[in-house]
């Protein structure tokens, strides 16, 4: 029980810090605070707070201080209280949107999916708490750093084997000494909150990542105008991706955090393309910067967000510029695959040898993705007119550029050597899978709305009726009629 309280309090602090940080960013926004916005703030809050936590831990180490509750938790608590007061004052005048009424069938669907997700998260939590650190890459590339940094009380550098041998053992070495520090620092913080090293309990952040991502996706979909049942379907799709669940149950690897941060950075950027509010842009930038500190490919994933900005800022020319850039890049790669130029003594040559069989098997034959790619292709063919709508085009461009990046990696680099084993390719595809699931729901929802049968035109109203319905005496807006007791129940 003490362990549960310490660990819960330890991770409640950065989550609350992130919530008040995101709320402070949008405190003066004109957007209403409905349940969708609240869920978006709460979900993104975990990722913002967890990233700020690691930034502060880096600063503590650079200042020569030892990791402890006093050096880490106390300053973050003070910042949380200060930002909380600012956010509270800023949100006082925000309007509140009301929940919408839905049919009984939609309400049952919403509750059923919510219960399904809750049960799934309970089972995954038990897996995290009961399973020791699994002997895969997390054992030799990530947790090695966490174990040393926790014992030393600060961040110490890891070196390659040659330097380790040259130092006669007076250095730290693991299988990937140059990997970023964010994921190990999560494990270090869990251990500090616990007061001891525990290679199972320290992995709680992976479960929190899955929960927070589902909350944020639901909030994003609701805030964008998607109905509550469809938004819950989107959250369910993201939270039940089989391979994502594996990365929760066998926690310790960086691909699930990479997927979550990238998805939310892209979605925050998409919100900015619609709202042009600086709060959305600031959140997108913060989450994109976090991508750089999780995995080395995070640099490229962050760059895939740039074309969406170009399309949003230059609607007439942006898409053409992006298309020309992608085509020129692919043409240059194909030229290098057919030639052997030497520039400044370096041989510039790439081998084009994609493993088509392995790629098809990964996307369409294995049970990793909930038939996600079938759904993406089907809805793209069905709603092809909506693909280029100004509303969804920036998000579609981000996903398209992301798949171009994956295609280049697995066609022109030595990463194709691991396609047949279905390990590296599946972890790389996981980075874009949650974002694709959200895009599928948004595209399907827009297509359904566009093709929804229209109600018959209402009969013309008399001037007296229009005045009664539109304005009260003296030109003041008339109050909205109250719902009858038999009205459909509201759902958020």
Query: Tens digits of per-residue pLDDT, 127-169?
Result: 999 988 887 788 888 999 999 999 999 999 998 888 888 888 7
- pLDDT (0 to 100) of residue 358: 75
Position 356 pLDDT exceeds 80: no
Among all chains, which residue has been given the structure tokens 């995290």?
A: 128
Picking from 61, 75, 71, the residue whose alpha carbon sits closest to that of residue 154 is 61
What average pLDDT score do residues 93-97 get?
A: 58
The secondary structure of 135-197 as a DSSP string is: SSHIIIIIHHHHHHHHHHTS---EE-HHHHHHTTT-SEE-S-TTS-SHHHHHHHHHHHHHTS-
In eight-state DSSP terms, residue 250 is: T
- pLDDT (0 to 100) of residue 482: 41
- pLDDT (0 to 100) of residue 10: 96
- Say if CB 258 and CB 291 are below 8 A apart: yes
User: Model confidence over 9-26: pLDDT tens digits?
Assistant: 999 999 999 999 999 988
Average pLDDT over all residues of the chain: 85
- pLDDT (0 to 100) of residue 341: 65
Helix axes 393-412, 255-275, angle to 10 degrees: 150
- pLDDT (0 to 100) of residue 343: 53
- pLDDT (0 to 100) of residue 29: 62
Burial class (CB in 10 A: 0-12, 13-18, 19+), 275: middle
What average pLDDT score do residues 468-488 get?
A: 41
Position 374 pLDDT exceeds 90: yes
Q: For the chain, what percent of residues have pLDDT higher than 70?
A: 84
Quickly state the pLDDT bin for 92 (edges 50, 70, 90): low
Q: Residue 186 to residues 57, 319, 323, 361, 416: CA-CA distances in angstroms?
A: 10, 39, 39, 34, 31
User: Model confidence over 403-422: pLDDT tens digits?
Assistant: 988 888 877 766 655 655 56
- pLDDT (0 to 100) of residue 102: 73
Q: How far is the C-alpha of 190 from the C-alpha of 445, rounded, in Å? A: 40
What average pLDDT score do residues 76-90 get?
A: 90
Position 345 pLDDT exceeds 70: no
In eight-state DSSP terms, residue 481 is: P
- pLDDT (0 to 100) of residue 459: 47
What average pLDDT score do residues 339-357 get?
A: 63
Position 39 pLDDT exceeds 70: yes
What average pLDDT score do residues 46-57 get?
A: 98
Q: How far is the C-alpha of 404 from the C-alpha of 74, rounded, in Å? A: 45
Q: Of residues 454 and 103, which shows the higher confidence score?
A: 103
Q: How far is the C-alpha of 322 from the C-alpha of 270, rounded, in Å? A: 17
For the ranges 275-279, 317-321, 348-352, the maximum mean pLDDT occurs at: 275-279
What average pLDDT score do residues 280-304 get?
A: 95
- pLDDT (0 to 100) of residue 320: 85
User: Model confidence over 177-217: pLDDT tens digits?
Assistant: 999 999 999 999 999 999 999 999 999 999 999 999 999 99
Q: For the chain, what percent of residues have pLDDT higher than 90?
A: 58
- Strand runs labelled E in 315-365: 342-343, 346-347
Count Cα atoms within 13 angstroms, Cβ side, for 338.
Answer: 5
Q: How far is the C-alpha of 81 from the C-alpha of 20, rounded, in Å? A: 9
Provide the token pair at 324.
């020309």
Quickly state the pLDDT bin for 360 (edges 50, 70, 90): confident
Q: How far is the C-alpha of 461 from the C-alpha of 458, rounded, in Å? A: 8
CA dihedral 40, 41, 44, 50 (to 10 degrees): -160
- pLDDT (0 to 100) of residue 94: 60
Residues 38, 40, 46, 50: is their CA dihedral positive or negative?
Answer: negative
Burial class (CB in 10 A: 0-12, 13-18, 19+), 433: buried
Burial class (CB in 10 A: 0-12, 13-18, 19+), 171: middle
- Strand runs labelled E in 59-124: 100-101
Residue 343: strand pairing partners: 346
- pLDDT (0 to 100) of residue 415: 62
- pLDDT (0 to 100) of residue 154: 95
């Amino acid at each position: 029980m003490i362990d549960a309280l310490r660990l819960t309090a330890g991770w409640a602090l950065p989550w609350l810090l992130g919530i008040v940080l995101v709320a402070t960013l949008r405190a003066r926004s004109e957007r209403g605070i409905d349940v969708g916005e609240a869920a978006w703030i709460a979900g993104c809050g975990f990722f913002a707070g967890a990233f700020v936590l690691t930034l502060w831990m880096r600063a503590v180490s650079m200042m020569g201080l030892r990791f402890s509750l006093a050096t880490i938790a106390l300053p973050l608590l003070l910042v949380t209280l200060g930002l909380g007061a600012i956010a509270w004052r800023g949100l006082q005048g925000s309007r509140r949107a009301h929940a919408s009424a839905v049919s009984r069938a939609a309400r049952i669907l919403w509750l059923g999916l919510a219960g399904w997700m809750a049960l799934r998260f309970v089972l995954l939590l038990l897996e995290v708490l009961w399973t020791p650190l699994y002997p895969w890459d997390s054992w030799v590339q990530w947790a090695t750093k966490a174990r040393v940094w926790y014992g030393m009380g600060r961040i110490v550098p890891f070196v390659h084997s040659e330097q380790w041998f040259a130092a006669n053992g007076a250095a730290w070495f693991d299988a990937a000494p140059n990997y970023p520090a964010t994921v190990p620092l999560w494990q270090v913080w869990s251990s500090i909150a616990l007061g001891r090293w525990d290679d199972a309990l320290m992995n709680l952040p992976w479960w929190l990542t899955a929960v927070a991502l589902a909350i944020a996706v639901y909030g994003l979909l609701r805030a964008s105008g998607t109905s509550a049942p469809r938004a819950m379907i989107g959250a369910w799709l993201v939270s039940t991706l089989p391979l994502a669940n594996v990365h929760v149950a066998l926690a310790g690897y960086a691909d699930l955090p990479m997927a979550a941060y990238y998805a939310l950075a892209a979605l925050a950027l998409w919100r900015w393309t619609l709202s042009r509010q600086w709060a959305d842009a600031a959140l997108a930038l913060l989450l994109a910067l976090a991508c750089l500190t999780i995995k080395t490919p995070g640099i490229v994933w962050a760059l895939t967000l740039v074309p969406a900005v170009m399309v949003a800022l230059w609607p007439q020319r942006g898409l053409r510029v992006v298309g020309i850039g992608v085509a020129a890049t692919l043409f240059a790669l194909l030229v290098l695959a057919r030639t052997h130029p030497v520039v400044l003594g370096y041989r510039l040559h790439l081998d084009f040898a994609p493993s088509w069989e392995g790629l098809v098997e990964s996307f369409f034959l294995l049970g990793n993705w909930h038939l996600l790619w079938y759904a993406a292709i089907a809805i793209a063919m069905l709603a092809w007119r909506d693909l280029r709508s100004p509303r969804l085009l920036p998000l579609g461009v981000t996903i398209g550029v992301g798949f171009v990046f994956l295609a280049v990696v697995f066609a022109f680099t030595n990463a194709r050597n691991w396609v047949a084993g279905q390990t590296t390719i599946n972890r790389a595809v996981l980075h874009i899978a949650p974002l694709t699931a959200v895009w599928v729901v948004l595209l399907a929802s827009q297509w359904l709305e566009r093709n929804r049968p229209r109600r018959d035109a209402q009969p013309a109203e008399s001037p007296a009726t229009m005045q009664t319905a539109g304005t009260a005496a003296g030109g003041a807006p008339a109050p909205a009629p109250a719902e009858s007791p038999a009205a459909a129940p509201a759902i958020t």
